[in-house]
Amino acid sequence: MTVVVAALTADGVTIAADSQISDEWSKLNGYNGKIWTDQDLGYAFGSCGDVRTSQVARFAVDWPRYRRDEHDLFKFAVLDVISSLKSGLESHGVLKEKNGFQTMESEFIVAIEDEFFVIGTGFEVYLPTNGRVAIGSGFAEAYGCLGDIGIWDEEEVIEAARRSTITAQGVGGDIYYTNTKDLIVEKVENV
């Protein structure tokens, strides 16, 4: 159970997430691995779902470099990013296969400069059409908080994640955030 929310801001894309992880018998607050960055590539990531799949994606996937002048983002994501992700997951035993169809137990948000996309559990790619997206069990609360009209500021994205910790089951703990301008993951300090 998670919320990861991303939205277009004046400085790029901001991603915020809660810090609760859970299984059938327990839950733990304070997990800060739902969002991360790659300083070299200029990417910011958010993930929900299976923790192991997200960890493998973070540390074992050789993410391809995006060059805006050479690539269409959607085509790049569908062909290059998905190929790299599948390869990394398969080599570490977290890629699922049934009846010849490959899936994973996580979803991802990938942000690059002022663009972002979502990778679903069946490796489908979605480009947000209105500048914001949310994944995980708190997605509806995050959408409700942000509304449909942006662009947003960083505080609004953080508030959307925080609001989900109040109203969505299985979403909780501290909020962590990053943006594509600074590419630094920070914990929101409660005031």
CATH number of residue 119's parent domain: 3.60.20.10
| 100 within domain boundaries | yes
Amino acid occupying residue 182: D
CA distances to 18, 62, 63, 177 from 41, in Å: 24, 11, 8, 18
The pLDDT of residue 20 is above 50:
yes
Domains in the chain, number = 1
Mean pLDDT of 55-72: 93
pLDDT at 191: 47
143 lies in a domain? Answer: yes
* Domain membership flag for residue 190: no
The overall average pLDDT reported for the chain is 93
Look at residue 185 and tell me if it is in a domain: no
> Is residue 124, in this structure, part of any structural domain at all?
yes
What's residue 129's pLDDT?
Answer: 84
Higher pLDDT, 168 or 41: 41
Q: Which residues contact 8 (CB under 8 A, 6 or more apart)?
A: 114, 116, 131, 132, 150, 151, 152
Q: Taking residues 124-140, what's their average pLDDT?
A: 95
Q: Does a structural domain hold residue 58?
A: yes
27 part of a folded domain: yes
For 89-124, write each residue's pLDDT tens digit: 999 999 998 888 999 999 999 999 999 999 999 999
pTM: 0.94
Closest CA to 5 of 123, 165, 113: 165
In this structure, is residue 65 part of a structural domain?
yes
Domain interval for residue 44: 4-180
